[in-house]
Structure 1
Amino acid sequence: MRRHKGALFVFARRHVGDADAALDVVQETFVAAWRALGRYDPARPFPAWLRAIALNKCRDRGRRLLVRRLVMGERSIDAPGSPDYADAGPGPETTMLEAQEAGRLEAAIASLPTNLKEPLILTYLDGFSQQEAAKILDVSIKTIETRAYRARKRLAELLGEH
């Protein structure tokens, strides 16, 4: 857990856009990995296996939030703008300007559709190869390439950097 929790936290935070939710995802990931350890294939890289579990936990969280928002409307405690919504910006060790830019980037990444966000996070932010990302997401390498390109293009539009 010590070896992998930092990378999983960064991955989850980029995916869900919230530090507290990312901690929950990491905990759920380790619980699920512990329960599935008997089914782990040693031929597969362990970090990629954990990342796939974390990705599924992020997706599960997204589905739960969607249902909650449909039922409760924007009054959901996890809705952006609610009083309890955690700031997704970086820590105090960065300057104010860097924190604002990092926050904008994280918000832009979190706002991407799932099919674009996942390849971008895996390949550009987490350093997985396109082949590894394709295995994690169970899609072709060309799909990863295309979706990552579209995600970068969409980020540029969102951030106003044509």
Structure 2
Amino acid sequence: MGARESIEVRAAAGDRAAFTALMSSTKADLYRFVRRYVGDGAEAHDVLQEAYASAWLAIRRYDPTRPFDVWLRSIALNKCRDWSRRRAVRRVVRGVMGLDTAEATAVGDDAPAPEARLDDQRKVARLQRALSDLPDTLKAPLLLATLEGWSHAEIASMLRITPKAVETRIARGRKQLAERLGRTPDDDA
């Protein structure tokens, strides 16, 4: 290996230090994406760790001529989808077993109610719930384009769909999100 060889090439060859450096350089952005997708910080950390573990296990299949962050984001997106499927199964099981009733979910806690929360925090939580409830096919392109700043072509490559399909899914995602928030898609707020 030459001294000028890229960090991606070294990582693809199984160099742990190079992979660790790539992890460090991508962690903040990837966590932000995963956190927005799953809607929970602790769950996002778990999904992120799964994504990095899967990336390391598949590192020999990575093509260093392609952007590492696109390859890694594809893996993270798949882990987010896996998480969503597991969550849906848990919801069904909880419903069947009656675990969603008020009695089953009540927690004996004498802490004061969260009346002190700021209005902005409520809006963010409501938006996060609305985002989490979007179908995966609409959520991923919407988050990648709107919040992460990826181009339609990059998203199309990641999701293995056409740029036109990305555009359509983003429009549908925005519309559904606006409906869930009780707004029209053209509202600024």
What is the TM-score normalised by the length of structure 1? 0.83
Query: Which residue pairs with 2:153 in the alignment?
Result: 131
Query: Which residue pairs with 2:99 in the alignment?
Result: 75
Structure 1 runs of 4+ off > 4 angstroms? 81-84
1:104 and 2:126 matched? yes
CA contact (8 A) 1:69 1:75 kept: no
1:49 and 2:83 matched? no
Q: Deviation string for 1:108-151 (max 9, x for gaps)? A: 11111111111101111111100000111111111000010111
1:62 and 2:84 matched? yes
Where do 5+ consecutive residues of structure 2 fail to align?
A: 1-22, 108-116, 185-189
The one-letter code of the counterpart of 2:75 is I
Where do 5+ consecutive residues of structure 1 fail to align?
A: 85-94
Alpha-carbon offset, residue 69 of structure 1: 3.0
Identity of aligned residues (%): 47
Whose Rg is larger?
A: 2
Query: Which residue pairs with 2:52 in the alignment?
Result: 30
Query: Are residues 18 and 3 of structure 1, via their aligned partners in 2, closer, same or farther at CA, if it must alter by over 3 Å?
Result: same
Give me the CA root mean square deviation: 2.1
Q: Which has the bigger relative contact order, CA under 8 A and spacing at least 6?
A: 1
Q: Deviation string for 1:33-65 (max 9, x for gaps)? A: 111111111121111111100001011112222
Aligned residues: 148
CA contact (8 A) 1:133 1:144 kept: yes
Query: Which residue pairs with 1:39 in the alignment?
Result: 61
